[in-house]
């Protein structure tokens, strides 16, 4: 019997009725490591050469584990204390290892073995230093751990045959392991979080009925024993599930098919294609439940894999933001993300290292060093660079007074209105969006509809000031029939005297419209700030009577800052 949190208990007695399926799970290779982690503050941190390292790390966000020589080591990332988990004896070797919380588990085998060699699973409680055997069976592989529960694959007896089963054991109670699923010929690793498993498998051609082998990505809750196929395809029809190409954390499952990165929100069923391999090939993805990281192999050469640079890219799933090359230099492999940490393996054939970095230091709003690219300007006030088309647009259309300082460097983001991905850059008051399809026109750069976004976020759109209004007929006002709102007095003065430079004489209507958009509300008092405001598609006007008679009587809200704050990046 497997005991869950509190008094919840569940027996897994459904095994006899489970239909057996031939399974070949893709193998995720893990070899030996040789050095402790180097802590990085962000993407600009220089990497330091270290002794040769042959594998990537495992982490739970608090601790990182690696194999250095014949010693399995663990480091607490908060205080940098290192402990030896186990020192291997002659002819002992470790194939796989994993950790969560206080527990580290590993598969230990005879290093003199040739061919497919497996051995028993062992574990250690890092808090007490107690080492114990996890698998009573002669071998256990495909190991993973979540909380107090370790899972592994081993032989199990089935009618008239021997199959392979996924076994789970409570390391806190050390109750006998329980078989939760029976399959044939399982290979690779299991991803495990909470009570959910994720794995890849291949069905033989005689099982599919199509005469073709079929890959499948499968998930299952331990306490219901009903595997669910998340994705599948026959090999000859569409690609293969990449080696080691899946991970699970929380409700987010990520995986790679022919270097095409996909993600599934297991709670909502939302499926998202993250990368196109022609533009952004992806392999070995990992997630902490929000951010997704992967190896970008565009510069990778399989014939000499240690000699070519390979970036690690990132993606913010809730916001649809591509974080770009969060680790742009070095040959980077085996990323692993848990909690607020990302760890990975980096270096070349003569110098390998483990690196850890806080995810907050890898986000687009993280201050950057000054760019060496000609024509770029660095703003030390915010720590960001501005250049190229965006710099020309910023300078030509009001610069600091209209847009404020840059608060990110350039990165790519999903436009939820169009479903397209564009290069963007955020400023204190706006977001620039580059549209190559408009190259050579005044609309090559477009501004974000941040005023409309903010009205929606604050729940204002159903309030009285946002409802259609009649033409007031008042002097010094302009009525906009498109949205049925009036703009008056200092607000209409500001609207009419500011605009984008579209080469019109003076400041034209279309130039003001391009900068601010149409009014979305009548003026009203903001319930939080107490300031009189009026919302437009791309701006919020603030009236400051204390500045009457100056150019600061009307100010623009810092909508760019707010948009980044809404992303929980600052």
* pLDDT of res. 192: 96
Average pLDDT of the chain to the nearest whole number: 83
Please give the backbone phi and psi of residue 232, each rounded to the nearest 5 degrees, phi first.
-165, 160
* pLDDT of res. 499: 93
* pLDDT of res. 21: 28
Q: What are the start-end ranges of the E strands in 111-148?
A: 121-125, 130-133, 141-146
Least confident of 319-333, 391-405, 481-495, 498-512: 319-333
* pLDDT of res. 56: 65
Asked whether residue 68 carries a pLDDT value surpassing 90, the answer given is: no
Domains of the chain with CATH codes: 2-362 (2.120.10.60), 377-566 (no CATH)
- Helix count and strand count (H, E) for the chain: 7, 42
* pLDDT of res. 478: 97
Cα–Cα distance, 430 to 428 (Å, whole number): 6
Asked whether residue 102 carries a pLDDT value surpassing 70, the answer given is: yes
Quick one: angle between helices 509-516 and 489-497, nearest 10?
100
395-406 confidence digits (pLDDT tens): 999 999 999 999
Contact 65, 111 (CB under 8 A): no
Percent of the chain topping pLDDT 90: 52
Cα radius of gyration rounded to whole Å, the chain: 28
Average pLDDT over residues 523-542: 97
* Helix, strand and coil in the chain, % to nearest 5: 10, 40, 45
pTM for the complete prediction? 0.83
Where do runs of H (alpha helix) occur along 188-274?
205-208
Of 69 and 428, more confident:
428
Asked whether residue 302 carries a pLDDT value surpassing 90, the answer given is: no
Cα–Cα distance, 50 to 142 (Å, whole number): 30
* pLDDT of res. 406: 98
Cα–Cα distance, 466 to 482 (Å, whole number): 13
Long-range CB pairs of 371-380, under 8 A, 24+ apart, other chains included:
371/409, 379/405, 379/406
397-450 confidence digits (pLDDT tens): 999 999 999 999 998 887 777 778 889 999 999 999 999 999 988 899 999 999
Q: Which of the four pLDDT bands, split at 50, 70 and 90, describes residue 492?
A: very high
* pLDDT of res. 301: 56
* pLDDT of res. 30: 23
Asked whether residue 465 carries a pLDDT value surpassing 90, the answer given is: yes
Average pLDDT over residues 511-540: 97
Contact 397, 427 (CB under 8 A): no
Helix (H) or strand (E) holding 155, with range, is strand 149-158
Rounded to 10 degrees, what is the CA torsion of 300, 302, 306, 310?
20
229-247 confidence digits (pLDDT tens): 999 888 765 556 765 589 9
* pLDDT of res. 315: 93
Asked whether residue 27 carries a pLDDT value surpassing 60, the answer given is: no
Helix (H) or strand (E) holding 271, with range, is strand 271-273
């Amino acid at each position: 019997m497997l005991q869950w949190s509190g008094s919840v208990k569940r027996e897994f007695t459904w095994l006899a009725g489970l239909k057996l399926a031939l399974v070949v799970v893709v193998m995720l290779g893990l070899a030996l490591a040789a050095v402790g982690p180097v802590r990085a503050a962000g993407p600009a941190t220089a990497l330091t050469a270290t002794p040769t390292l042959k594998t990537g790390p495992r982490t739970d966000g608090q601790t990182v584990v690696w194999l250095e020589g014949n010693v399995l080591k663990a480091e607490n990332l908060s205080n940098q204390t290192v402990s030896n988990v186990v020192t291997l004896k002659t002819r002992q070797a470790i194939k796989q290892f994993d950790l969560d919380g206080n527990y580290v588990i590993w598969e230990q085998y005879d290093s003199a073995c040739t061919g497919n060699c497996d051995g028993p699973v062992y574990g250690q409680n890092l808090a007490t230093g107690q080492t114990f055997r996890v698998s009573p069976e002669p071998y256990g592989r495909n190991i993973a751990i979540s909380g107090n529960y370790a899972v592994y694959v081993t032989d199990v007896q089935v009618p008239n045959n021997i199959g392979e089963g996924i076994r789970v054991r409570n390391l806190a109670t050390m109750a006998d392991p329980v078989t939760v699923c029976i399959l044939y010929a399982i290979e690779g690793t299991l991803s495990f979080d909470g009570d959910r498993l994720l794995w890849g498998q291949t069905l033989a051609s005689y099982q599919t009925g199509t005469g073709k082998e079929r890959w499948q990505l499968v998930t299952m809750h331990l306490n219901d024993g009903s595997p669910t196929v998340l994705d599948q395809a026959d090999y000859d029809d569409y690609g293969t599930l990449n080696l080691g190409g899946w991970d699970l954390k929380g409700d987010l499952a990520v995986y790679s098919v022919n270097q095409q990165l996909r993600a599934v929100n297991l709670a909502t069923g939302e499926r998202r294609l993250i990368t196109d391999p022609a533009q952004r090939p992806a392999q070995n993805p990992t997630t902490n439940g929000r951010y997704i990281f992967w190896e970008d192999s565009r510069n990778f050469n399989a014939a000499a894999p240690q000699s070519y640079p390979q970036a690690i890219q990132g993606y913010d799933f809730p916001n649809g933001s591509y974080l770009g090359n969060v680790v742009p230099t070095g040959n980077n492999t085996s990323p692993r993300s848990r909690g607020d940490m990302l760890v990975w393996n980096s270096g070349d054939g003569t110098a390998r290292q483990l690196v850890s970095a806080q995810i907050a230091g890898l986000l687009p709003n993280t201050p950057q060093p000054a760019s060496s690219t000609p024509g770029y300007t660095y703003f030390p006030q915010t720590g960001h660079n501005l250049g190229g088309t965006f710099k020309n647009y910023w300078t030509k259309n009001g610069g600091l007074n209209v847009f404020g300082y840059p608060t990110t460097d350039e990165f790519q983001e999903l436009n939820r209105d169009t479903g397209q991905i564009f290069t963007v850059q955020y400023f204190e008051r706006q977001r620039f969006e580059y549209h190559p399809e408009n190259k050579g026109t005044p609309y090559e750069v477009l501004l974000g509809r941040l005023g409309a976004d903010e009205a929606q976020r604050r729940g204002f759109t159903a309030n009285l000031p946002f409802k259609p209004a009649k033409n007031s007929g008042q002097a010094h006002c302009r009525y906009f029939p498109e949205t049925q709102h009036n703009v008056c007095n200092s607000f209409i003065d500001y609207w009419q005297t500011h605009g984008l430079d579209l080469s019109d004489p003076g400041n034209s209507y279309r130039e003001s419209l391009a900068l601010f958009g149409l009014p979305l509300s009548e003026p009203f008092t903001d319930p939080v700030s107490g300031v009189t405001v009026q919302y437009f598609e791309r701006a919020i006007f603030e009236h400051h009577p204390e500045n009457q008679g100056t150019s600061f009587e009307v100010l623009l809200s810092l909508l760019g800052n707010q948009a980044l704050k809404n992303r929980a990046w600052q």
